[in-house]
Structure 1
Amino acid sequence: MSKLAHFIGTCGGVGHLRPAPGTWGSALAYPILFLCHVLFGVGTPYILIALICLLVGAGLWAADRMRRDGWGEDPSEVVIDEVAGQLIALLPISFGAANNGVSLLALWPGLIAAFVLFRLFDIWKPGPVGWADRKHGAIGLMADDLIAGVMAAIGVIILAGIAHGALGL
């Protein structure tokens, strides 16, 4: 087996943490988010978009390689998809913090909502998430979490609109 594919797919071994390796993978997105905000400030959301694209490409390669090496169609140890999906769910918070000059910690309800919504959609697999999860190969492995991330990001935006009265509710 390619050690590099294993290292990338498991995000340096995070995918071997038990219980719930997907939850550990999702949690890994948070230090990445905070580190990017410290290093890049207001440009962070755009850095995160580039990082997500990099993670998707690397994840597709690693998942395909691990599948060919006998790890199966969707091994629980592969968590790079959770990291990418969780970062998508966190994008609205990153944009909000960067555009308004506030600390990420000031947006803590959004940070919690992004995690809960992403994990909910990733586990429950409603609609398009379930459709993508039924696809075979690396694309299916990655796509369900990316779609769950988009759905969670939309949920975060809606909840923020309600919390801030922007939706008139």
Structure 2
Amino acid sequence: MTPLSPSDAPSAPRRPTVAFLLGHPAHFIALGFGAGLSRKAPGTVGTLWAWLAYLVLQQWLSPQHLGWLIAASTLVGWWACTITARHMAVADPGSIVWDEVVAFWLVLWLAMPMGFWGQFVAFALFRFFDAAKPGPVGWADSLFKGFGWRGGWGILWDDFVAAFCTLLVIAVWRF
């Protein structure tokens, strides 16, 4: 079976709908279980969802298991983002928020323990780096564009660089 090109993609609405979300398991994952359907600031909503989900998950999973979850979520997310972007015929749609979810989980996993205000600062820093794309984040965003595995990785890559920048600021702040 040959992969779909963007022109062969099933017709998807400009703004994804619940039907699109539920139409393929990759869409459900890439759209952050529905967080990406937000009409306003889907990346912020996805990051908020990630924060809440992490706080719940850490109640049941050890730090080692959280690390494995983040690694597995990266691989599954790569697949999901690749498929969903292709089906939407947009290289990096704003409604794909799995990149924010996994990258912010990484921030929390590496920076915890922190109280509410530390987590809030981590959230604000991550959103700044992800949205404004200063320096290395902008560079990372420009590296992998298009469709297929390369584009799917590109969706995730700039958020991982934003996570690294966030962690660097937190490390300097703590030092």
Same fold per TM (> 0.5)? yes
Aligned length: 148
SS state at 1:23 partner: helix
Structure 1 unaligned residues grouped into runs of 5+: 98-103, 162-169
SS state at 1:13 partner: helix
CA-to-aligned-CA distance 1:35-89 (integer Å, 9 cap, x gap): 122113xx32x22221221221111111111232233100111000000111122
Q: 1:140 aligns with which of 154, 161, 164?
A: 154
Which residue of 2 is the match for residue 67 of structure 1? 85
Matches within 5 A, 1:4-153: 4-40=25-61, 43-44=62-63, 46-94=64-112, 97=113, 107-134=115-142, 135-136=144-145, 137-153=151-167
CA-to-aligned-CA distance 1:87-111 (integer Å, 9 cap, x gap): 12212332xx3xxxxxx5xx22210
Q: Tell me the C-alpha RMSD between the 2 structures.
A: 1.6
Which residue of 2 is the match for residue 100 of structure 1? none
| Structure 2: distance between partners of 1:108 and 1:8 | 27
Q: Which amino acid aligns with 2:101?
A: V
Between structures 1 and 2, the one with greater helix share: 1
Report how far residue 157 of structure 1 moved.
2.1
Q: Which amino acid aligns with 2:90?
A: G
Q: Which amino acid aligns with 2:83?
A: R
SS state at 2:39 partner: coil
| Structure 1: distance between partners of 2:155 and 2:87 | 15
Structure 2 unaligned residues grouped into runs of 5+: 1-9, 11-22, 146-150
TM-score, with structure 1 as normaliser: 0.80
Identity %: 33
| Structure 2: distance between partners of 1:158 and 1:55 | 28
